[in-house]
A and B are shown apart, each in its own frame.
Chain A
Amino acid sequence: MKLPSRRILAVISVVALVASACSSSATSAPSTGAASVAPSTAAGVTPIEVVSWWTTGGEASGFNAIIAKFNTDNPTLQVTNSAIAGGAGSNAQAALQNRVLNGNPPDSFQVHMGHELLDTYVTPGYMDNLDDLYAANGWTTQFPQGVLDIVSAKDSSGTVHYYSVPLDIHRANVLWYNKTVFTANSLTPPTTWDQFFTDADALKAKGITPLAVGDNGIWATGMILESILISTLGADGYIGLWNGKTSWTDSKVTDGLNIYKKVLGYVNSDHATLTWDQAADYLIPASAGAQPKAAMTLMGDWAAGEFDNKGFTDYGWMAAPGTDKIYDTLADSFGLPTKAVNKAGVKLFLTLLGSAAGQDIFNPYKGSIPANTTAGNPPASAKQYSTYQKWAMGEWKADAIVPSLEHGAAAAPSWKGAWETAVTSFVANPDVPTLQAALAQACKDASVCK
């Protein structure tokens, strides 16, 4: 248990001081252009490196299909998918940030459209705009205005620039339910929160958990609150929360928070230890005819894929209560880093990603719908859209589009962090005025509210 002698300690501390002085002066000068040499291959094929977090399942199949098409159509280019595994890209984002920061970004990478891209990469000046691609391909008319608003940012002179190409569209505000439970108990799936509470009381009396939630990763409860705020504020009022036009102290926000508090009384008590898919599985009966653990879950439309994979067909869906005709949107998109090596090649690839043909290859696999409104008719030989996807595409063309907070579209990551802190603290201390004050403060801290 003896430590080294005093002398060695002294040597260590002197060396430590000297070395740290060297290292800090060296690192404070940001290195630039270290890796801007294009890698060459023997066959005269130029590689394009694309980073995504799609490593398994339908999403990986879909992305590989679209890459295969690109590589066949462009024999001199070779797109490679450097996938980094990890749910919702949490690992991918950390690894990616390191590369961008070191001036060695991939040629293109997957990122949630909206503020996750804008605040993390665009504002600090790491991305080129894609205005020419949008103009050349007619995307400004093919993508809905709601999407154009989310993928664009104004520069200091007020000109609008587009920064990423959304490949898919997911909807966050969908209520999934077990059809048999509702018919067996003569209940109607709720279209308003009042009706939700009536149904929930009836279900609870039957010993069924009304709403299954798995918020091990926090965001699932945040998404419920998001849907509730959309229902009390409407599309414009909700969008206003994120650009400072709607006050966070508004009485409709208070109404929403009170509904949220009440909803939390109808969820499974083990929600904090479950992931979203484990919670969704609560809708699936253990055996045919048995009573499932829960009747409903409020989850993004990737839940359809979870049910289909488990062979569960007895599920119905509708917009979350009070949010009919509003599409709470999130999307995976791809952009063009300023330090990308082969910009011309990347632009060709992005053109395919945004086109109707490209989106119809990818989305049937992923379970999402195309952002491009001219898409939706994949060739008969290709994989087709599911019933849910066809329904969602119809809604997409008619609905008001609002950005999802929990999936990076509505606000900067730091604002989202502050929101999640407030929402999670609410679980321990369910006091509505405290939560509302914390949410209002988060808006101020993000320099959006005054």
Chain B
Amino acid sequence: MRIRRDRALSLLVIAPSVLAVAIFVYGLIIWTGYISTVKWATLRPDYSPVGLANYMSIFANNRFLMDIRNTVVFTIFFIGASLIIGLLLANLIDRKIRHESIFRSIIVFPMAVSFIVTGVVWKWILSPGLPAVGPTAADPHGVNQLFGLDPATFKWLTDPQVLQLAPDSPAGKVLHDIGLGFVTSPNIGIPVALLSIVLAAVWQMSGFVMILYLAGLRAIPEEIKEAARVDGASEWRVFRHVVFPLLTPITLSAMIILGHISLKIYDLTVAMSGSGPGFATDTPALFMWQTAFRDGEFGRGAAVAIVMLVIIAVVVVPYLVWNRRQGVEA
């Protein structure tokens, strides 16, 4: 009887937020999905169904394809670098050094800054200065000035170059012959300017990853490591075969948290370079906003939103399933 009353009370307490989430998250997702299949392309809502025409039109749009490329590149570099740096920092901090909390605070601090502030500051740092158009006018500032780099080579955010496999290179020709010629299109490659954004994002988030790993490291019982050492394992092998596997849940959680940040990234790129040279730093979120609210094409904008949702779901849902299975086993 008492258990029942507890349950009724807990249901009552969570009901308002469940209802709000149901309406304002799931309800609006369904509504957006519906809008993505109607014609609505001006300010006046037009609910005549068009099937998948909006989706076909955005996938035929070169800008959207570049946005997908940017998202993939950004996600890989951002998560990879944040995890490696975060893990490294966590291990350094975990050496029982003096004044640990001071170092910890300094390293985590960037996370407290808003992405807009990060973006503006890094935009200034990376501002390349004028290129040397003549012998006298080399006028670098920011990081180029600090390290004496040539602004004509180190263009940072302003670099329109996309590192890609050239169609006329030997490898490109081979790929073309076996029917994989699309790999050499400019839509598959690494936009150089985007890496500057990755740099700023990693600066902001790697401290957060460090904290996650530090918590994980501290949770590993000393006895396990001791046992491995007694068995004659070197420190590296202790880390590689004992500590690191035990950190897997932390790594996965960090990947999911960073992953959903990178898939939705908007404020940082807007503050740093907008769409960038040749859409080098454009993102699906920016494309969606402009399509819907500047061009008034709400149907197409909704289609972009749904594609973003699907991409995020592909990353997050397996994690949720895995996480729940862990919970059941425990």
Contacts from A to B (Cβ < 8 Å) = 1-3, 8, 11-12, 15-20, 23-24, 27-28, 30, 90, 93-94, 97, 100-101, 119-121, 123-126, 204-209, 216-218, 268-273, 291, 293, 413-414, 416-417, 421, 424-429, 438
Contact = CB atoms under 8 A, between A and B. Distances in A.
Given A3-B324, A269-B131, A20 B47 contact: no
12 contacts: A8-B14, A17-B26, A19-B22, A23-B23, A93-B294, A120-B296, A123-B42, A269-B128, A421-B63, A428-B160, A428-B162, A429-B186
B158 interface: yes
Nearest to A126: B43
B116 interface: no
A265 B42 CA distance: 38
B123 interface: yes
Nearest to A426: B278
A162 B219 CA distance: 73
Interface in B259-302: 272-280, 290-291, 293-297
B49 interface: no
Contacts of A271: 158, 277
A120 B297 CA distance: 10
Given A1-B253, A413-B296, A421 B61 contact: yes
Contacts of B276: 272
Given A11-B18, A24-B31, A428-B280, A270 B63 contact: no
Contacts of B123: 273
A23 B279 contact: no
A12 B273 contact: no
A334 B11 CA distance: 53
B32 to A, nearest CB: 10
Given A218-B274, A273-B157, A428-B160, A207 B295 contact: no
A93 B26 CA distance: 28
A196 to B, nearest CB: 16
Contact of B43 (A101, A273, A424): A101
A217 B294 CA distance: 13
Given A1-B253, A12-B21, A119-B296, 15 more contacts: A1-B249, A2-B323, A3-B323, A16-B27, A19-B22, A20-B29, A207-B132, A209-B130, A216-B273, A268-B131, A272-B274, A417-B290, A424-B279, A428-B162, A428-B280
A24 B14 contact: no
Interface of B: 11, 14, 18-19, 21-23, 26-31, 34, 41-45, 47, 61-63, 66, 123, 127-137, 139, 151-152, 155, 157-158, 160, 162, 186, 193, 249, 253, 272-280, 290-291, 293-297, 320, 323-324, 326-327, 330
Contacts of A94: 293-294
A112 to B, nearest CB: 12
Contact of B158 (A19, A269, A414): A269
Contacts of B130: 209, 268-270, 293
Nearest to B280: A428
Contact of A20 (B22, B249, B290): B22
B139 A293 contact: yes
Contacts of A427: 160, 277-278
Given A2-B327, A12-B18, A272 B273 contact: yes
Contacts of A216: 273-274
Most buried by A among B272, B279, B320: B279
B134 A205 contact: yes
A424 B129 CA distance: 22
Contact of A272 (B27, B30, B277): B277
B30 A20 contact: yes
Contacts of B23: 19-20, 23
B323 A1 contact: yes
Contacts of A273: 123, 127, 157-158, 272-273
B327 to A, nearest CB: 5
A253 to B, nearest CB: 20
Given A120-B43, A217-B274, A272 B294 contact: no
Contacts of A425: 62-63, 66, 278-279
B155 A269 contact: yes
B34 A24 contact: yes
A101 to B, nearest CB: 6
B320 A3 contact: yes
A278 B278 CA distance: 20
A18 to B, nearest CB: 8
Given A16-B26, A100-B43, A417-B290, A428 B137 contact: no
A27 B35 CA distance: 12
A233 to B, nearest CB: 25
Contacts of B294: 90, 93-94, 413, 417
B27 A19 contact: yes
A413 B295 contact: yes
A410 to B, nearest CB: 15
B279 A97 contact: no
Contacts of B136: 207
A216 B269 CA distance: 11
A275 B11 CA distance: 53
B327 A28 contact: no
Nearest to B42: A124
A27 to B, nearest CB: 7
A217 B276 CA distance: 9
Most buried by A among B18, B295, B327: B295
Contact of B42 (A120, A268, A421): A120
Given A1-B249, A16-B22, A208-B133, A121 B152 contact: no
Contact of B151 (A119, A123, A269): A269
Contacts of A204: 133-134
Contacts of A424: 63, 275, 278-279
B44 A125 contact: yes
A205 B22 CA distance: 65
Most buried by B among A121, A124, A421: A421
A417 B193 CA distance: 22
A209 B139 CA distance: 12
